[in-house]
Every structure is written in C-alpha cells, then in structure tokens.
Amino acid sequence: MASPPFSLSFLLTLLLCSTVTMMLFSPAASLTCTSHKLTSNEIYSNCIDLPLLSSYLHWTFNSTNSSLSIAFVAAPADSDGWVSWAINPTGVGMVGAQALIAFKNNGVMTVKTYKISSYQSVVPGKLSFEVWDTKAEESGGHMTIFAKIKVPGKKDSLNQVWQVGPSVTNGVPDRHDLATANMKSKGTLSLTRGQSSTGGESSTSGGVDSTTKKRNIHGVLNAVSWGILFPLGAIIARYLRTFPSADPAWFYLHAFCQVSAYAIGVAGWATGLKLGSESQGIQYSGHRNIGIAAFCLATIQIFALFVRPQKDHKYRYYWNIYHHSIGYSVIILGIINIFRGFDILRPEQKWKTTYVIVIAALGGIALFLEVITWIIVLRRKSNKSTKPYDAYNNGQNRQQPFAA
C-alpha cells in the first residue's frame, strides 16, 4: 500500500493550525461590568471594571443624603472562598479598612462586617459608618455583595479596597494570597464622576493598570510561544518528515515555528524580568527558575540550526539525540510553567480552560499522527524485507521449476 500523498499531510497540518488559531483568537465575550447582569432588579447609575482580581463595582450615589448603594461582583479564589469590598476612611490600604465580606455559611451566602485594624487583626464588628440592606448571592462562579452605605464625612470620593480569598474556616475568612494583584487591589473611587484610580492612574469602565497589562502580555506571549508554537513545531518535524514528498518543506515549517516561538518567548521572558524588577519583595521562585531553565535550553536549541550535520555524517546520530532531548525538555518545562503562571495570575477560568483544550487538541492530533506514522513505517519495513526475498525465490523457481 502506497504512503499517503503529501497533500493529506499538508491538510492535516493546515487543519491543526486553523484549529489552534480559532481557539486562541475567537472573539469570546469577556465579562465586564456592563455585560454582567445582576439578578436583582435594582438599577445602578454607574459601573466600572476594577483593574485587578476580575472584579466589578456597580453603584449609585445620592449626594443629597450622602448615601451610596453598591453591588460588588468578584470571583472568589476558590469555590468555597470569599470576596470583600471595603472603605478606608483614614488611609489608602488595608489597615484601617471597614469591610463587607461575603462567603458561604453552612451553604448559604451571607455578608458580615469586619474592622481591619492591622494585618494580624481582622475582627467582625459594627463599622464606623452606617450600613444597611446587606445581602449576598452567588451566580456563575461570582459572588455579589449588595449594600447601602452612609458615606462618612459627606465626601464625593472615597478610598476603596477589594479582595478575594480561597477559603473560610469555622465561619472566619482565611488569609488571602499575597500576589501582586491582591496587594494592589486598592484605589480611590470618584462617586460623582464614575471613575476609579489605582496607584495614581485613573481608569473608567474597562480600565486596567500598567502592571496588570504587563502581566497579561507576559502570560499571552509565553502561552503562545512555549505552550503552543514549540509543541506545534515538534509535531510538524516528527510526523511530516515521514512523507518523502514533504521534504524539505517539513524542515522549513519546523524551523519557522521554532524560531518564531523563540522570538516570542524572548519577549515574554523579558517582560517577566521587567515585572520581577518592579515587584520588590514579591518572588515566584519556582516559576522564575523554570522560565530561566527553559530559556537557556531553547537558546542552546536554536544553535542546533547552525551545527546541523549532513544526514550521512558520522555525528548526525549524536546530534539527533541532543536535538530531540533538549527540544522535548523545553516543551515539558514550558507547559509546566504556563500552568504555574495561571496559578499566579489567576485569570478568568475560561482562559485556563481554553489553553487546556488547545493542549488536549495538540496531544490528540499527535497521538493520531503517531499511530499513522508507525503504520506507514512498519509497512515500509515489511515491503523492504519481503521484496528481495520474493525476487530471489522467483529467480530460484525459474531456474529449478521442478524442485521439491
């Protein structure tokens, strides 16, 4: 049986590329304060996308009596976690904040008020300003805090702090993560202009601070590079080379994928170094060390293009071992580090799910092509081993037609 033509292998590669592209760049609607529908019938005058922790705030401010109606929406760090929105009448951070915290209490959503006098002292109690009509609900993986507040001091702006946590123990919220997003989830809310500022940078609906933008860029670049293009290039090299008609096209496709992946990976690695230098006191040693190791191995791998022996060279066998072992190591380290990055960034679940689907698709296609490749290789070996034997026997039979 003849080997499949190059057109079939090309179509498989084209299908793979189009599938990955559609899954990565399909215009999935992202959740924002304007697209998120509250289950209550209350209508708010303003809403903003808070720049960190995928949080949203709806509010209406009545200047005549200095009352504020709010609906704060956020996804907890875990399904059994908690969300919090607070006002700090005396400062701009966590210490001194007067907080509303929502969580499940025996399976029922509840809101409790807490005074945060220090990082070690978070105690339930009555707040320094009046709060009423508090309630909480959960929907679609998000928790919402509803409340009405008497704004202290008749101000037209206030210092706000918001937070999410992973768990609740015996009715007491446990400590939240100390990631950059958690530490910087604070700012000033303009009650009358419908704006929020964080770290001196103002933002309206959909605004994101510069640090978050850099983190998102870092994550996207590395996911595309280490998590998609490098594995795709390996698949092209391993399976298209099975077809003689694909030579040398498979090599140029493979080299293009790997060089592109390396270039994008360098950009992602550089943004990671920049983020690290700007985040004093915050380190993710495991994520950083794996990233450095993957970058160093990928750099060595790129040099393989310049020291590639000819196919019949006596050192080609050893070069293949070096090239394959380093290549697969880069892919494994890259994928592991991407999932570590997800744990640090804590993006919306849909982004992690999308990447899992992409990797599963690549793995499924690789498994399918592995089976096809082995079938082709075994058939070729079988043909090579039987044809000379048959020819010899046929010749012997012609010379000795009556042999027993």
pLDDT tens for 244-299 read 777 788 888 988 998 999 999 889 888 888 877 766 545 677 888 898 899 999 99
Among 270, 261, 263, smallest CA distance to 292 is for 270
Residue 67 has pLDDT above 60, yes or no: yes
Task: Give the residue extent of every domain in the chain.
Answer: 6-27+211-381, 46-208
Across residues 306-327, what is the average pLDDT? 84
- pLDDT-based confidence at 333, cuts 50/70/90? very high
pTM summary value = 0.49
What pLDDT score does 357 carry? 92
The rounded percent of the chain whose pLDDT value lies above 90 is 7
**Position with higher pLDDT, 24 vs 251:** 251
Residue 327 has which token pair? 């290549």
The third-level CATH classification (topology) of the domain covering 6-27+211-381 is Four Helix Bundle (Hemerythrin (Met), subunit A) (1.20.120)
CB 114 within 8 A of CB 52: no
Residue 257 has which token pair? 């994928």
What pLDDT score does 15 carry? 47
**Position with higher pLDDT, 378 vs 398:** 378
CB 134 within 8 A of CB 145: yes
What is the CATH code for 46-208?
2.60.40.1210
Q: What is the mean pLDDT of the chain?
A: 76
The number of residues making up the chain comes to 404
- pLDDT-based confidence at 400, cuts 50/70/90? very low
What pLDDT score does 225 carry? 92
**6-27+211-381 against 46-208: fold identical:** no
Across residues 186-197, what is the average pLDDT? 67
| Neighbour-count burial for 155-181, b at 16+ CB within 10 Å, e otherwise | eebbbbbbbbbbbbeeeebeebbebbb
Across residues 171-199, what is the average pLDDT? 72
